[in-house]
């Protein structure tokens, strides 16, 4: 099959788009900025959901569901929140269509809503309005709730998975009796995300804190995980917010403490979205197609028979049936691609494009020799191995692939993280090989904005593990006590 | 605890509302007609989703995701479809808010959409517009896709779970090369629903076909499952539609057949929604609260310790720890309610209200005697049983409860299904004990509408297993060859 994928070196952005389309992950829909997530792409997202959901539950959270619509007035109750989202809201104004008499379907102007409804861009306001009814005393706390939902932000420039008008995500919203407890929750969920990114997505991340300028609208503190893509640009892969008492005050949510006092409730929210699909694709894939870490691959092993006669095929079938059973017993997902409409070479290319981690090819001679050809997608290597104990061989190989993909991403990040001490150096790196640039910054929003204007690089985060270190801001020369990470970003 | 639930005999409708609220399943939100599904209610829905999703995949379907919004023009392409949904559509007209200068947040009139977007009430139109790009030849068929999503129908009179402006559902949308294959698919999915209703929800259902008048807007044939509630009213629990070539024609979706001809594609769609929560609640519960079939109960077993001293408590704890381990090993979900803030009687009432199928109470004397008190929610009986082999005893009991709840519902339906042969009898039953009324009907929409006007009863379905039988319409006296089922319905 002809893959028709632009190479990364030629045009990284086009490579990404080609890959998403050709690997059947997603496509643009007829609705501006909204995507269709195709079955193969959705299967990967479902695996992400299942693993994250399990971790949320293990950390004491329950799922619930809140309305898609938010009354406009709710939205305005938290000042910085409305400011952050007002410019990208889909607004419902009517609730009926009608036939205009000449056969055209038009909006029925008589069915105008008294108050416009916003399609949720995030749910803090509707949820805190609900929590008001759930919380009376400290006994009702903490509330540890998560929601899997669709949200809409009317972005003007969209890209499949990375930035779409509608996207899928989860949003955790928790309520606590103390500031300390809420901060601990926000930090805990950041670690859940970081662990998921590293051990499931095989994407190493920097755990950090956003600057004031990059904080979530309504948060006192935003924690984030930042990943590095192969083009040297950073991608924010998840955020966890300490919201203080901002939403409790906006919606008047108080509780009676153990000491009998009325106090405002402390909040967090945290989320990851289908954007993770973009991170996954861009972190590992190559010019031949997707490279999926085994833990997320909907198909972990594909088996392709190579034969000339029906007898040869029947012989191979018997072997494969057994192998499939053994692999399934190990919870390894396997597909036997015995379509007779395509040649082996076509199949090899197709599964390579779709990022299946392991390919087993087995032909008539293999059957005589008691061997198969085992190919790994990540290194694009293949070897002849024994049929005996093959399921175990594959199990070990899948673990090795997961590790190798992760290590490769760690190595890439290491070679694309640069410490600089002058603005000259800074610009050289940012405009050159890119990646994370670690440097001193004077802590002001003004400097951050100036640097962004001049270089398009933003402060991705103040790493949580950053050491105290005397230094001077590369831009203003003012004193600084800690390095931050700059990068161009998605 | 005081439960504050109205009894069924006093006011069935109020009993239902009380139950939904008091058992923490759902509540009305600040947005008209939209509900909040609370963690306990959502946990039941998650179990429904998991079981259904597994069955969809076993029958060859994959999940995908399509846009929330549908361009108004798409909606109008299938004539009967737009007619069916136009009067209850939420319409997005703008994509931005702004500050009006005096501090008010208002809709930015300059950010008006060129074409209004409808919040999906169902997705046939956007999906068939997408399928157009996926289908060229018979090799691309069938497409077997399902979507889990939220949908919006602007209902004027809403009730928690039963009829809400926004609800959660799944919608399957399949594309086939032949009419026969599409009909077989629609029938297969009806059977998946029926089996789920009976064997998981423990709700017996009649499998049937809707009359022309009650068909889905755009379908050639609508299959349905109809359940009976304790007040004698019917509830449509799921539908599966044979759409013919209507949507393929509306969106010009053709394929090249094996014979090289261009033909329109055949379609089905099928769905169940959070309405099933209403069916579940109303079919089994009683004046003391929820009665949940074990297969759907988020907590299947609750253990309540009864003690006076710390020593007694420690002794019980040891026993319970072991029991929990054994039950978890059998995939039985168990909660140990050892809150020291509530008395046992309060806990008993609370878990009774929440429908936990089995309660284990264990006190100091039980520990001496090697016994526990085992209570079953469905029959409200309790007995003293041995601690020895308790996990197995509970496992068997859970199966018995599932069966008993189902049998009780079957018996209720049998005693509330009446064959009548005259309109007098018909009215007596409909206005009396209610339930399903089996009778002859002349097959006309007019008669159906007249009967509905006079009695509020509608034809729930033409049962698939209805025998050929000579008879006369109870209303017009015209000849009829098959009985149909009438009932008042939710």
- Which pair of structure tokens corresponds to residue B208? 């049937």
Out of A397, A425, A452, a domain closes at A397
Which of the residues B69, B77, B107 would you substitute to probe the A interface, choosing the one with the greatest number of A C-beta atoms within 10 Å? B69
Is residue B351 included in any domain, yes or no? yes
If pLDDT is split at 50, 70 and 90, which confidence band does B4 have?
confident
Taking CA atoms, what residue in B is nearest to A103?
B76
Same domain as B241, residue B145: yes
Same domain as B28, residue B151: yes
The answer to whether the CB atoms of A107 and B99 lie below 8 A apart is no
Same domain as A348, residue A216: no
Out of A284, A314, A348, a domain closes at A284
Is residue A443 included in any domain, yes or no? yes
Coil/strand/helix, residue A264: strand
Q: Are B90 and B117 in contact (CB under 8 A)?
A: no
* CA–CA gap between residue A168 and residue A162 (Å, rounded): 11
Same domain as A355, residue A449: no
Taking CA atoms, what residue in B is nearest to A86?
B97
Taking CA atoms, what residue in A is nearest to B94?
A91
Same domain as A307, residue A259: no
Average pLDDT over residues B477-490: 96
Average pLDDT over residues B135-143: 97
Coil/strand/helix, residue B46: helix
Is residue B291 included in any domain, yes or no? no
Enumerate residues 71 to 90 of chain A having a beta carbon within 8 A of any beta carbon in chain B: 71-72, 74-76, 82, 86-90
For residue B128, give its domain range: 12-68+122-284
pLDDT of residue A140: 97
Taking CA atoms, what residue in A is nearest to B46?
A63
- Condensed to tens digits (0 to 9), the pLDDT of residues B294-328 reads 999 999 999 999 999 999 999 999 999 999 999 99
State the DSSP string of B18-65.
HHHHHTTSEEE-SSTT-EEE-HHHHHHHHHHHHHHHHHHHHTT-EE-B
Instruction: Classify the C-alpha dihedral A157-A159-A160-A163 as positive or negative.
Output: negative
Is residue A116 included in any domain, yes or no? no
Per 3-state DSSP, chain A is made up of helix, strand and coil in percentages (nearest 5) of 35, 30, 35
Enumerate residues 182 to 241 of chain A having a beta carbon within 8 A of any beta carbon in chain B: none
CA atoms within 13 A on the CB side of B259: 4
Same domain as A323, residue A179: no
Same domain as B252, residue B194: yes
User: Taking CB atoms and an 8 Å cutoff, what residues of chain B touch A34?
Assistant: 67-69
Taking CA atoms, what residue in A is nearest to B74?
A30
User: Taking CB atoms and an 8 Å cutoff, what residues of chain B touch A57?
Assistant: none
Flag whether pLDDT at B83 surpasses 90. Answer: no
- Condensed to tens digits (0 to 9), the pLDDT of residues A88-146 reads 999 999 999 999 888 889 999 999 999 999 999 999 999 999 999 999 999 999 999 99
**Residue A391's CATH number:** 3.40.50.800
Same domain as A316, residue A217: no
Is residue B344 included in any domain, yes or no? yes
Q: Where is A463: in which H helix or E strand?
A: strand A458-463
Same domain as A363, residue A235: no
Is residue B441 included in any domain, yes or no? yes
* β pairing state of A262-264 and A254-256: antiparallel
With CA atoms as reference, report the closest residue to B362 among B329, B340, B337. B337
* CA–CA gap between residue A438 and residue B448 (Å, rounded): 76
Between the alpha carbon of residue B267 and those of residues A91, A309, A393, the distances in Å are 33, 38, 44
Q: Are A448 and A211 in contact (CB under 8 A)?
A: yes
Is residue B3 included in any domain, yes or no? no
Average pLDDT over residues B100-107: 88
The answer to whether the CB atoms of B68 and A150 lie below 8 A apart is yes
pLDDT of residue A2: 61
Count chain A–chain B contacts defined by CB atoms under 8 A: 190
- Condensed to tens digits (0 to 9), the pLDDT of residues B398-423 reads 999 999 999 999 999 999 999 999 99
Coil/strand/helix, residue A309: coil
**Cβ neighbours for A354, distance < 8 A, ≥ 6 positions apart:** A23, A24, A40, A289, A290, A299
Return the beta strands (E) in B201-324 as ranges: 206-209, 221-228, 234-244, 254-256, 262-264, 266-273, 301-306
Coil/strand/helix, residue B427: helix
Residue among B67, B87, B105 minimizing CB distance to A166: B67
**Residue B458's CATH number:** 3.30.110.30
Say if residue A350 is exposed, middle or buried (CB neighbours under 10 Å; 0-12, 13-18, 19+).
buried
Residue among B36, B69, B104 minimizing CB distance to A31: B69
B252 to chain A, any CB pair closer than 8 A? The answer is no
Same domain as A182, residue A138: yes
pLDDT of residue B401: 98
Same domain as A168, residue A43: yes
Min Cα separation A364/chain B (Å): 28
* CA–CA gap between residue A235 and residue A282 (Å, rounded): 10
pLDDT, mean over chain B: 96
The answer to whether the CB atoms of A93 and B97 lie below 8 A apart is no
**Residue A269's CATH number:** 3.30.930.10
Is residue B205 included in any domain, yes or no? yes
Q: Taking the CB of residue A297, how many other CB atoms lie within 10 A of it? A: 26
Min Cα separation A145/chain B (Å): 8
Q: What is the DSSP letter of A202?
A: -
The residue assigned the tokens 């068997």 is B396
B27 to chain A, any CB pair closer than 8 A? The answer is yes
Taking CA atoms, what residue in A is nearest to B144?
A39
Out of B397, B428, B447, a domain closes at B397
User: Taking CB atoms and an 8 Å cutoff, what residues of chain A touch B150?
Assistant: 68, 149-150
pLDDT of residue A411: 98
pLDDT of residue B121: 96
User: Taking CB atoms and an 8 Å cutoff, what residues of chain B touch A64?
Assistant: 36-39, 42
Instruction: Give the distance from CA B221 to its chain's centroid.
Output: 21
Same domain as A164, residue A32: yes
State the DSSP string of B308-377.
SSHHHHHHHHHHHHHHHHHHHHTT--EEE---SSS-HHHHHHHHHHTT-SEEEEEEHHHHHHTEEEEEET
Give the number of domains in chain A: 3
- Which pair of structure tokens corresponds to residue A245? 């008492």
- Condensed to tens digits (0 to 9), the pLDDT of residues B212-237 reads 989 998 999 999 999 999 999 999 99
Residues in chain A predicted with pLDDT less than 50, given as ranges, are: none
User: Taking CB atoms and an 8 Å cutoff, what residues of chain B touch A217?
Assistant: none
If pLDDT is split at 50, 70 and 90, which confidence band does B61 have?
very high
Taking CA atoms, what residue in A is nearest to B153?
A95
pLDDT of residue A1: 54
User: What angle is formed at CA B485 by the lines to CA B213 and CA B170, rounded to 5 degrees?
Assistant: 65
């Amino acid at each position: 099959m002809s893959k028709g994928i632009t190479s990364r070196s030629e045009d990284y952005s086009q490579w990404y788009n080609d890959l998403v389309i050709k690997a059947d992950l997603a496509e643009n829909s007829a609705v501006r900025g909204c995507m269709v997530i195709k079955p193969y792409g959705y299967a990967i997202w479902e695996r992400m959901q299942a693993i994250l959901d399990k971790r949320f539950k293990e950390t004491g959270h329950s799922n619930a569901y809140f309305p898609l619509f938010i009354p406009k007035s709710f939205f305005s109750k938290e000042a910085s929140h409305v400011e952050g989202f007002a410019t990208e809201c889909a607004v419902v104004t009517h609730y009926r269509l009608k036939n205009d008499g000449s056969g055209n379907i038009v909006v029925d102007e008589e069915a105008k809503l008294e108050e416009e409804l916003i399609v949720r861009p995030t749910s803090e306001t509707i949820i805190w309005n609900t929590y008001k009814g759930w919380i009376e005393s400290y006994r009702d706390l903490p509330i540890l709730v998560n929601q899997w939902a669709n949200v809409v932000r009317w972005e003007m420039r969209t890209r499949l998975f990375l930035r779409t008008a509608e996207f899928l995500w989860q949003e955790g919203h928790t309520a606590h009796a103390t500031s300390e407890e809420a901060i601990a929750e926000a930090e805990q969920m950041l670690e859940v995300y970081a662990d998921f990114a590293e051990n499931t997505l095989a994407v190493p991340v920097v755990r950090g804190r956003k600057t004031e300028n990059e904080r979530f609208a309504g948060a006192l503190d935003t924690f984030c995980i930042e990943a590095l893509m192969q083009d040297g640009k950073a991608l924010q892969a998840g955020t966890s917010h300490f919201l203080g008492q901002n939403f409790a005050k906006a919606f008047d949510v108080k509780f009676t403490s153990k000491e009998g006092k009325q106090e405002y409730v402390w909040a967090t929210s945290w989320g990851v979205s289908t954007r993770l699909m973009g991170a996954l694709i861009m972190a590992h894939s190559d010019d031949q197609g997707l490279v999926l870490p085994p833990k997320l691959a909907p198909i972990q092993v594909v088996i392709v028979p190579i034969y000339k006669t029906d007898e040869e095929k029947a012989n191979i079938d018997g072997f494969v049936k057994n192998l499939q059973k053994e692999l399934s017993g190990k919870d390894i997902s396997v597909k036997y691609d015995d379509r007779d409409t395509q040649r082996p070479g076509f199949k090899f290319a197709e599964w390579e494009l779709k990022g299946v981690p392991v390919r087993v090819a087995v032909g008539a001679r293999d059957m005589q020799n008691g061997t198969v050809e085992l190919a790994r997608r990540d290194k694009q290597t293949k070897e002849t191995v024994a049929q005996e104990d093959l399921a175990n061989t594959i199990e070990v190989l899948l673990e090795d692939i997961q590790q190798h993909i992760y290590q490769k991403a760690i190595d890439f990040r290491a070679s694309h993280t640069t410490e600089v001490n002058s603005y000259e150096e800074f610009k050289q790196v940012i405009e050159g090989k890119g990646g994370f640039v670690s440097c001193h910054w004077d802590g002001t929003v003004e400097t951050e904005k100036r640097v962004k204007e001049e270089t398009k690089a933003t402060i991705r985060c103040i790493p949580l593990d950053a050491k105290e270190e005397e230094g001077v801001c590369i831009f203003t020369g003012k004193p600084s006590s800690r390095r931050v990470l700059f990068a161009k970003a998605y």
